[in-house]
Chain A
Amino acid sequence: MNMSNKEPGYFNYHEQDVKYIKVGTRELFSNPDADEARDCFRQKTRQMVDKTTTVKEAVANYIHDGDYFASGGFGSNRIPAAILHEIVRQNKKNLGFAGHTSTHDMQILVAGNCINRCDAAYIVGLEARGLSKISRRAFESGAVQSTEWSNATLAWRFKAAAMGLSFLPARSLLGTETITHSAAVEIPCPFTGKKYAAVPALYPDVAAIHVHSSDVYGNCQVKGIAVSDFDLARAAKKLIITTEKLIHNDEIRSAPHATVIPYYLVDAVIEVPYGAFPSNMAYEYFTDEDHLKAWLEAEKDEEKFRAFLEENIYNCRDHYDYLQVNGGLARLNELRAQENMTRGNG
């Protein structure tokens, strides 16, 4: 039945039999149910209390074998490197992972054999730098199960969760094998009848995000692009923050417009200067391209790579040790000069 035509300016509903087509055939690795998520969020403390801790404690307390994990930033930009290395050191296993332009972050987790399933939007590559041999092998061997998405639909899956919903409609994926190898469902728009890809909300068990500054309660400021972290921070059931520096709450209150992540989303705060190294931290330090190249190179030889991991991860107590192994303050100062182009735009 079509509703009678109304006055111009009023919408005529498109009435039809609703048809859902489960076109995506792959596994959904997390529960999109919004009420289950509400029960988790209900448990989170509302108290503005000091949440500072150590990387070691945060990983031990909040990241468990089998959890679904997501990292903030963009693969080689503003990644929570200290947390990622500690996950490897603590030998966490069978993690699910949001492969949302995951490049160096995935390389680290794959090196430690920490993940066994992955929502794949962008995986195994390091953009212009080439493909990672160990990441490729993880998928080519079947060691890591994958379900395909795209960068936008994975971002919108976080957004759906951030909105407290169980899905969002999207206009990409449709018509391709990316959708048949996803877990999306085709649905008609209840208003216009047009076709959408319904993408399920993604509520990670735990996420880690590196920020420019945070107070002890977890009120965070981020400079530069947010990528998907605004939504990821809200979607995650537990949230670990590493911060370049701790700032006083007065500073947060003097610039509330700069707060991207409010304290009530946050479970743990750790001050980790140069915590995104070797990735790019906007306005602070540029990517250590030499280190990323050395990593890719080391992957080509198993023995060499084992030694590389010993040196850079397993033999390091913490991120300070890792920075020291890779040139320490002198190298970091070079990366700072590159970022701020104080010696030209190289």
Chain B
Amino acid sequence: MKEYNGMELMICLAARYLEDDGIVVVGTGAPCAAAMLAQKTRAPGLMIMFEAGGVGPHLPAMPISVGDSRTYYQGLVATSMPDIMEACQRGMVDYTFLGGAQIDMYGNINSTHIGAYEKPKVRFPGSGGANDLASLCWKTMMITPQDQTRFTNNLDFITSPGYLSGKGARERAGLPPGCGPYKIITNLAIMGFDEDTCRMQVESIHPGVSREQIIENTGFELLWADHIYESSPPSAEELEILRNAVDPRRYIIGRG
């Protein structure tokens, strides 16, 4: 039996990409847990912001809403949504995490609907802050389960920009240069993006996962990095902090 579950693995792996002295805008759930874990391990100087206006809290518990009072508990600033979004637009925010119902090989994300726009089959929340964060933060990450429905090139709607149609497309569209999708962390692997084509490529495979499994669970052709690593599993210290100090009530890690 493994000593950790898939959610714990994804959170620990994501936390390692958040560097000390960076700024990250997070929502609730797994990204918030990853940022909290990073802060309590290798990146104590990481600054956490929430899009509704909370800056630099000592998070006493997992927030339920990105605007609830936990997001600025013992914080540095309780400011406003435009203030946070304008910090992103000025280039002050290094990382963000997004979620979505579908993602394609360029890292474009759908969180708006399934079906047609008029009378959609399923309506989702829409952009929220996702389009803004994906447009304006330097590095966008995603923590998500990997399967064929979710990883598809047939997005029903492009809510938030990845690399759009490939290299240079973001800049041609008018988005600030030099930013975009960075790492996609799933239950199977860690994927980055090829520099020349901006297509998703596998960089690291989790222990016990095969290449075939990854291919079977992806609806498009993945690229493979020249050197593929085995993802280094959570350390005892990471797990201890995640379980006891970050999410003791298992709101997030309880989801497996």
Contacts and interface: CB of A to CB of B under 8 A. Distances in A.
A148 B65 contact: no
Interface string B63-95: 011111101100000111110010011000000
Interface stretch (B52-60, B140-148, B198-206): B52-60
A144 to B, nearest CB: 10
A280 interface: yes
Most buried by B among A120, A128, A176: A176
A221 interface: no
Interface in B166-182: 169-170, 172-176
B64 A74 contact: no
A164 B129 CA distance: 24
Nearest to B156: A177
Interface residues of A, number: 66
A177 B108 CA distance: 11
Contacts of B67: 73-77, 101, 225, 227, 280
Given A171-B136, A197-B174, 10 more contacts: A76-B68, A122-B129, A150-B129, A172-B132, A175-B170, A178-B126, A194-B174, A196-B174, A287-B64, A345-B60
Interface of A: 73-77, 99, 101, 103, 120-125, 127-129, 131, 136, 139-142, 148-153, 155-156, 159, 170-178, 181, 186, 194-197, 223-231, 280, 282-283, 286-287, 289, 339, 341, 345-346
Contacts of B160: 176, 178
Interface of B: 27-29, 51-54, 60-61, 64-69, 71-72, 78-82, 85, 88-89, 108, 112, 117-132, 135-136, 157-161, 164, 169-170, 172-176, 249
A97 B102 CA distance: 28
6 contacts: A74-B66, A122-B127, A125-B125, A136-B122, A142-B119, A228-B81
B135 A172 contact: yes
A129 B119 contact: no
Contact of B175 (A128, A171, A231): A171
A339 B60 CA distance: 11
5 smallest A-B Cβ distances: which pairs? Answer: A195-B174, A175-B173, A225-B53, A74-B67, A152-B85
Contacts of B122: 136, 140
A345 to B, nearest CB: 4
Nearest to A135: B123
A238 B209 CA distance: 59
Given A142-B119, A155-B82, A226-B80, A175 B125 contact: no
Nearest to B252: A128
Nearest to B169: A175
A141 B122 CA distance: 10
Given A136-B122, A226-B79, A121 B128 contact: yes
Contact of A139 (B27, B54, B120, B129): B120
A151 B65 CA distance: 15
Contacts of A136: 122-123
A225 B72 contact: yes
B77 to A, nearest CB: 9
B80 A227 contact: yes
B39 to A, nearest CB: 17
